[in-house]
Structures are given as C-alpha cells and as structure tokens.
Structure 1
Amino acid sequence: MRTRRGNSYPMIGAQATNNRKKSRLSTVLCNFFDMLPDDIVLFVLVKLASTADCPADFVGALLTCRRFNGLGLNSLVLSQASAETFAVKATRWTQAAYRFLQRCTDAGNVEACYTLGMIQFYCFQNRRNGAALMAKAAIRSHATALYSLAIIQFNGSGGSKDIKDLIGGVTLCARAAFLGHIDALRELGHCLKDGYGIGKNTVEGQRFLLEANARELSAICSSPSPALIPGRRLNLPPFSRPNGPSGSTLGEIGFCLPFQKIHPANRFLAGWYAEHRSDPAYRICSYSGCGRPETRIHEFRRCAVCGVMNYCSRGCQARDWTVGHSQNCQPMVRFPGIDAGGR
C-alpha cells in the first residue's frame, strides 16, 4: 500500500524478518571466528603489528573484541611489532605507554629496546639502563642502536670529556656500516680520513664516503616515489672540508635530498626537549631529525663556518647540510685566539 505521495508504508513484519536474518548471520559469523585456531589469529595479529603505520592501527585491533585483546598482548605478537606501533608522542607519554614499551622489550622486540633505551638515556637521564637497552638491541644486530652507541662513545655522553672511547666508537661504526647503516659508513669514512680513533687512511676513507653516497642514492631511487630534486651544486660540509673534492654528500653532485623518515625514538626526543628543556646551556643537535641533547656543556661540535649550528655527529651534520643548512651557512666574524669549537 502506498501513500498519496507514492511512498510505501513500512512493512513491520518484513523488517522484523530481516533483522532476525541479520542476527542469525552475525551469530554464524561469530561462531566461525570462535572456531578459528589461536595460531591463525596470532598470525594475523603478528602481520598487523609488524606492518602498523601508527599506534592506532594496533590499538584499534585490540579494542575489536576480547579475543583480539587477549592474543594481541601475546609475547609473539609484541616481539614482532614495528617501531611505529609504539611511536607515542612526547606530549602523550604516560605510565601506560611506558609499561607497554617495557612489555615489548621483555618480549625481545629490538625496536622497543632501542626506543626505550634512547628515552631512558636522554630524556630521563637513566644512563645505565638506557645504554643497557641499546646494547641489548645492538647485540641482535640493530644497526641504528650500534650507531647510537658509537655516537655516545665518540662524545663521551653521560660523563666527562675524558671518558671518550674513540676506538670503541670506530668499532661500533664499523659494525653498523657492515649492516648497511649509511650514516655509520659516512662517519667511518671521515674517521679514516682524519685519523680519528683509527689509523689515517685517506684513500680508504674516501672510498667509504663514495660508497655511502652510492647506497643513499640507491635507497632513494628504489623507494616507491623517488624524490631527488635537481638543484645547484652545494659546497662541502664546513667542519669536514678537505683540501680537494671529497664527495662526502650527494649535495655536492648537484642534488638536493628530501627529508628522510625519522625514527620514532628521535621524534620522541625532539618533542620531549621542545617541552622539557630545563637548561638552555645544554644544546640540542641542530638536525631536525635527530633530537639528541647534550649531556654536558659543549659536548657537541659546532659548524666551523657559521659557528651557530651544533651537531652530535658527522652524519647529522651531513644530513642537515643537504636539507637546508647549506643555503643559510654564513661565515662568522673570527677573532684572534678564539676557536670555532669542535671535538
């Protein structure tokens, strides 16, 4: 039966029948889900955790149902979680986030060990536990953890200037470079060229720098959307400028590199010290993708040309040079007897 406007009256009986059919269908689907073995559900959750792009992807799955909530916190799932799964922002740091990170480290997640180690070492000044967590990740061949420990050894972070271990830093850099870490390979090349913590070998150091450029170019070109931008030829990084051409960065061959993806640990450090920087005398690495702070005054080196920018490592200096500092670096006025700074 239709109304004067031609619309049909609602059929209450048919609607009730459709609702009963939907209810029976959902019951059958729920029964099928309950019949799935735990191994299959764990496999799905492991795949989800290992490919998550943000914490919401994983947390949303845990809130889906009671079974996902229980199996999602299984040690097998937590051990395979990606770094972005626990990429909590510094402004949202809570005890619950700390407990979740700790639970992931207990499950053997190397990314969680590195992330929590960086937070403990630099944010909460818990140097011993932070270094131990990063070492736990480094033992399992985590290249970024090896390079971070090398930076700590080169700078003597967490102690006085006299506790620098240059040989240990070079050893850690060599291991990270062997695993394919580009910044570690570039740092090792500069150490060889300068004789810093290792015997001086200019030819071998130059070869490492060229290899770092080749790997960096290969990584960018193999990405889904390569973004090399042809630009004007850039100068050499100031405090690593040799007498002749070096090819220490891709910017020297006429390309401006895009910003690379920043590790969640470095994003946390940058956000944390934007809000909790208690002493302005302690500087932060000028490369926006780093976030490392000084653990003592004048720990980081300064740009030898402008004397304004501060860097925890040559890797950060090279990246900052290619993404913008080369356009703003202006020679400073020098006075006799005053050093520009450095290690």
Structure 2
Amino acid sequence: MKTRRRNYNPVAGAPTTSHRKRVKLTTSIGHNFFNMLPDDIVLSIFIKVGSTADCPSDFVAGVSTCRRFKTLGVNSLVLSKASAETFAVKAGNWSEFAHRFLQRCSDAGNVEASYTLGMIQFYCFQNRRIGAALMAKAAIKSHAPALYSLAIIQFNGSGGSKNIKDLIGGVTLCARAAFLGHIDAIRELGHCLKDGYGIGKNTVEGQRFLIEANARELSTICSKHSSALLSGDRKNLHLLVSDFGFCLPCSRSHPANRFLVDWFGDRRLDPALRVCCYGGCGRPETRVNEFRRCSVCSVMNYCSRGCQARDWTMGHNKNCRPPVRL
C-alpha cells in the first residue's frame, strides 16, 4: 500500500524535494538579496560610498538604483558624511534641486556642503550674510578651508567697504586654519608675521611658517606622485616651491573653487571688478580695487598671498616683468 508523502511546512519542518526546488528557483531568479539586508547595513554601505565618492555621479548612481536605496541614500547619516567631491556640481548644471540638496546636506551637519553652498551664496549670488553664515557653520566645526576663506573675507573687507577690514580677525582665523594644517593659511600667516600685517612683526617666525608651508606642499605633492618619482620621472623636482624658487604641479582645488571658476568663466562680470588671477581660485572682487596687484608687473591681481604664491609656481614667475615706462 502506497503512503502519501507529507508536505511539511517549511517554517515548522523540513521541506520536501519538490519544495526545495521551488525555493531554489525563486531565490536564484526572482529574489533580490539586498532585500534581506537590514537597513543598518545598507546605510553603512551608503555612508562608505558617499564619503569616498570622486564625483556626484558615484553617489547618484547608487541612490537611483531602486526605491529603497533612494529612501536610505538621503538619510541624514549618509548626507552628513558625504565627501566634498559629492557636491562638485558644475556651474552649468546648477539648479534649484542642486541648491536644495546642498542645503539638506548642510542641515544634516555636513561641513563640506555648508562650505560649498556658502561660497556659492557669498560670491555667485551675492547673498553675503547667508554665505558667511554657512561658511561660519563649517568653520565652527574646524573646517580649515572655511576658516581660511573667512580670513580672506576679513583681510579684504569683502562684501563691504574698505573700512570694514578686520586684520586682527583675519589673522586669528588664519592661525586656526594654519593649526589644522591648511597650507595656504600657513603661508598667509607667515607673510603677516614678516610684514607685521594684523599682528606684531616677527621676521624669524614668519620665515619659519613659510618654510613649513613649502615643506608641507612638497610632501603632499611628492606623496601623490610617488609612483612617477620612483620610476625615475624627477622633472617635477628640479623646480621648487613658491617663496624659495621651486615649482610643483598644481594640486586639485576644492569643488567650491572649481564652481566659482566655471561660474565666472561663463558669465560676464562687471568690467570694473576682477577675478583672482590664480586659475584654481575663482573668487571675484566684491568692490572695485579689492584685490592686491603683483608688486612687480602690476598686471596680475590676487585675493590672497596663498593664491599669489600658487600662481607664481604655475608660470607667473616666467612672465612677471616690470612694466615698460615710456
């Protein structure tokens, strides 16, 4: 007498052979294994992707994969850890959506988003108070580029008259950024000490800061090009850094500065106003004759000593000549 094989409930007991085949088929064809992952694990993956993104598309591609990823990808934990390159939007692609995304990241506590949006608001849309507040929000959390940018604003009196310059405030912000290792801030502080600009004159200490800035710059560039140097390509070492005659390859500027370069490259600025001549800066004047001129050629204009030193190493040292007097 044949006995009928009992189909066990897969939850309560072992499944039959036919049921195992059905489970395997469903798992291999119709099931998405990501649905099995807890939200915490998916969030940790997105945090890693956002914090290491090299361009906005790296982050957008992950978020737009499915509805669940779209929800988890804009979680405040993910947005607060996104890298600076995640916000490297091009000026031609600027939109209300990009503005809302940056603002949302800033509200989540992302210092890079606060700094980038602050620079855009301050210089591109001339919302000086909002832009300065966003940069200050990043500076409070020890964001070195934000501290240095606010120092430049104080040194130049940007957004107001020449009389509102705050040299002591600029030196204080610059010193904090220098303490955090910002190379341009270290160099700026060195020149302030040498010239007695906003601080007591101390030539020896100022020279020490300039040497430290050049040493840090040399170390940074060499570490990025170590493979080329080890293979025998030493042509980048025969020129040295800014103040002491050596020239090194230009490091990639911050996404906020790249946005300014694109923005003012495509738009006509007031003819009376000038843009910083260092190609990696992009800052424009907020009033006539705000930036300092090169003391030799009187042609190039710079928002800061840091930009002047970088442009010098990028080729101005070869073209700088005193004006011909007739």
CA distance in 2, matches of 1:78, 1:58: 10
Point out where structure 2 has 5 or more consecutive residues left out of the alignment.
1-23
Shift of 1:333: 2.8
Structure 2 Cα separation of the partners of residues 278 and 322 of structure 1: 27
| 1:100-115 alignment, distance < 5 Å | 100-115=101-116
Aligned equivalent of 1:310: 301
For the Cα contact (< 8 Å) 1:229–1:257, is it kept in 2? no
Q: Secondary structure at the match of 1:307?
A: coil
CA 230–75 in structure 1, closer or farther in 2 if over 3 Å, else same: closer
Does residue 139 (structure 1) correspond to residue 130 (structure 2)? The answer is no
Find the counterpart in structure 2 of residue 25 from structure 1.
28
- What's the secondary structure of 2:224's corresponding residue? coil
Instruction: Quote the offset at 1:22 in angstroms.
Output: 7.6
Structure 1 residues 118, 125: closer, same or farther in 2, change over 3 A?
A: same
CA distance, structure 2, for counterparts of residue 229 and residue 283 of structure 1: 34
2:207 is equivalent to residue 206 of structure 1: yes
Q: Deviations over 1:152-201 (max 9, x none)?
A: 00000000000000000000000000000010000000000000000001
Percent identity over paired residues: 73
Offset at residue 259 of structure 1 (A): 1.5
Q: Give the structure 2 partner of residue 71 of structure 1.
A: 72
Deviations along 1:118-148, one digit per CA (max 9) or x if unpaired, are 0000000000000000000000000000000
Matches for 1:5-20 after TM superposition, within 5 Å: none
User: Following superposition of structure 1 onto structure 2, how do residues 44-193 of structure 1 map, counting pairs within 5 Å?
Assistant: 44-193=45-194
SS of aligned partner of 1:222? helix
User: Aligned partners of 1:62 and 1:232: how far apart in 2?
Assistant: 46
In structure 2, what is the equivalent of residue 283 of structure 1?
A: 274
Q: Which of 289, 311, 314 is the aligned partner of 1:320? A: 311
What is the TM-score with the length of structure 2 in the denominator?
Answer: 0.87
* Matched residues, number: 299
Q: 1:167·1:197 contact (CA, 8 Å) conserved in 2?
A: yes
Q: Distance in 1 between matches of 2:159 and 2:244?
A: 38
Distance 2:83 2:107 in 1: 15
- When normalised by structure 1's length, the TM-score is 0.83
Say what the alpha-carbon RMSD is for the aligned residues. Answer: 1.9
Match of 1:269 in 2: 260
Going from structure 1 to structure 2, the CA distance change for 1:201 and 1:252 (only over 3 Å counts) comes to closer
SS at match of 1:209: helix
Distance 2:211 2:121 in 1: 35
1:255 alignment counterpart: 246
Contact 2:243–2:309 (8 Å) recurs in 1: no
Unpaired segments ≥5 residues, structure 1: 1-20, 234-248, 336-343
CA contact 1:229–1:256 (8 Å) conserved in 2: no
Q: Which residue of 2 aligns with 1:229?
A: 235
User: 1:306 deviation in Å?
Assistant: 1.0
Superimposed CA distance per residue, residues 26-82 of structure 1 (whole angstroms, 9 cap, x where no aligned partner) = 323x1x321211000000000000000011111111111111101001000000000
| Of 281, 284, 291, the match for 1:300 | 291
Whether the 8 Å CA contact 1:231–1:254 is kept in 2: the answer is no
Alpha-carbon distance change, 275 to 70 in structure 1, aligned in 2, over 3 angstroms: same
Q: 2:323 aligns with which of 327, 332, 341?
A: 332
